[in-house]
Amino acid sequence: MRDFGAPPFVCPDCRASVGLTTGGYRCSACALFYPVLFGIPDFRIRGDQYLSLDDDREKAGRLHNYGLEHDFASLLAFYYSITDDVPGHLAPGFANYVLNAADRARLQLQLLAPSGGRILLDLGCGSGGALVAGTATFQTCVGVDIALRWLVVAQKRLAETGVDAQLVCADAEALPFADRSFSHVLGSDLLENTRSPKDALCSAASAMGAGGRIYISASNRRWIGPHAATRVWAAGLLHDRVRSKLLRRRHSVDILRAVSFVSPASVRRMAQDCNLLHLATEPFVPGTGQLQNRSAVFRMLARAYSLIARAPVTRTIMTAAGPVFQSVFAKEGAS
C-alpha cells in the first residue's frame, strides 16, 4: 500500500492493531479481515443505509471499470445514470453540487482552520472535493466515507487534479484509527446522513487530539422553506410518513428516507455530550463559484439570502432557522 503519511489503522470492531496481508488487513486480536478494493482499504463492518456491502462493492466495481476510460465528469454522470435513488430530473442539481465541492470546502476549511493544520480527516468525504481543497493548507489529508462507490469517484477526482490523499472506506461511527490521530475533522453534510448523529460526532471527537477542531454543516431541521435537494417545504419538520408520501408522489422515491435532520441546538447538545466546546455557529453562505451553471432566479435568490444571512439583525434568525448552518467545536485540552 502507498504511504500517504496517514495515521496507522486499527480494527474498528475491537480497536486492536491490524496488519497488512495479501489482499487487505487482518486484525491481530479478533482476526477480522478487511479487504483492499480498487486500492482503497475497506474497514466497514456493515453497509450504508442505501446498499448492502455486496451491492455497494458491485456498484463500485462498475464505476471503477467505467472510470478507466472516462474522465471525472463523465464518471459522475454515469454514477447518477445507474443510481435509482436520484430521479433523472434531479440528477443535474446533485451533479452540480458535487462538481462545486472543492469551492464549497475552501469556505468551510477557512472557518475550521484559517492557518491550516497538521492532519485533516474529511469525514463523509464523498467525491473528494474537500481533499482537493485541503491539500493547500494541511500536511496530510485523509478522506473517509461509508460508500465505496463514492470513494471510487473521489479516486478519479484526485487522480485528475494530481492530489495525494488517503481514501478509506469506513463507518463514521466506527473509525479505523487510533484515538487522537487527527488535528482537524471536517464533517460537511455528515451528521444527517448517519444512523446515529451523536455516535458519529463522538467518534470524530475521539479521533481528534487535544485542542483539535471539528467543523459540522447540515441542513437545518427548523428550516420552513424548500429543501435544497428535493424542493419539499419544511422537510425536517414534517412527520416521516408525511414527508415520504410527498417525496414519492413528487419524485417517485423517498430520497430522504435515511436522513436524520438536526438543528444547531441539537448539534450543540450532542457536542457537549462528546466533550466538545462550542466555538461558533453561523449560516452557511455559498460562494460565487457555487452559483455557476445555476438559473438567473436561483442566483438572485442566493444573493438575497447572502445579504440576509450576513446582516447583523437577521443573522441570528438565519443561524437558528435558515436552510443550512455550520458550527465549529474544539476538543478540550491543550494542543
Is the residue at 160 inside a domain?
Answer: yes
The CATH number that applies at residue 188 is 3.40.50.150
Is the residue at 225 inside a domain?
Answer: no
pLDDT class for 310, splitting at 50, 70, 90?
confident
Q: Tell me the C-alpha distance between 65 and 76, whole Å.
A: 13
Is the residue at 155 inside a domain?
Answer: yes
Q: Which three cell numbers stand for residue 83?
A: 443510481
pLDDT above 90 (res 156)? yes
Q: Which structural domain range is residue 112 located in?
A: 47-220+262-284+325-331
pLDDT above 50 (res 335)? no
Averaged pLDDT, 125-132: 97
pTM, whole model, 2 decimals?
Answer: 0.93
In tens, the pLDDT along 239-250 reads 999 999 999 999
DSSP 133-160: HHTTTEEEEEEEES-HHHHHHHHHHHHH
The pLDDT value given to residue 292: 59
Is the residue at 294 inside a domain?
Answer: no
Averaged pLDDT, 266-279: 97
The pLDDT value given to residue 290: 56
Q: Which helix or strand (DSSP H or E) is residue 185 part of?
A: strand 182-188
Q: Tell me the C-alpha distance between 88 and 297, whole Å.
A: 22
Is the residue at 228 inside a domain?
Answer: no
Averaged pLDDT, 161-172: 97
pLDDT above 50 (res 57)? yes
Phi and psi at residue 178, to the nearest 5°: -65, 155
pLDDT above 80 (res 3)? no
pLDDT class for 306, splitting at 50, 70, 90?
confident
pLDDT above 80 (res 293)? no
Averaged pLDDT, 192-201: 97
Task: Count other Cβ atoms within 10 Å, centred on residue 155.
Answer: 24
Map grid coordinates 464549497 to a residue. 104
In tens, the pLDDT along 225-270 reads 999 889 899 999 999 999 999 999 999 999 999 999 999 999 999 9
pLDDT above 50 (res 87)? yes
Is the residue at 131 inside a domain?
Answer: yes
In tens, the pLDDT along 175-184 reads 999 999 999 9
In tens, the pLDDT along 142-152 reads 999 999 999 99
Is the residue at 64 inside a domain?
Answer: yes
pLDDT above 70 (res 303)? yes
Is the residue at 291 inside a domain?
Answer: no
Task: Report the number of distinct structural domains present in the chain.
Answer: 1
Q: Which helix or strand (DSSP H or E) is residue 187 part of?
A: strand 182-188
Q: Tell me the C-alpha distance between 77 and 320, whole Å.
A: 35
Averaged confidence pLDDT in the chain: 93
Map grid coordinates 495525494 to a residue. 164
The pLDDT value given to residue 246: 94
pLDDT above 70 (res 201)? yes
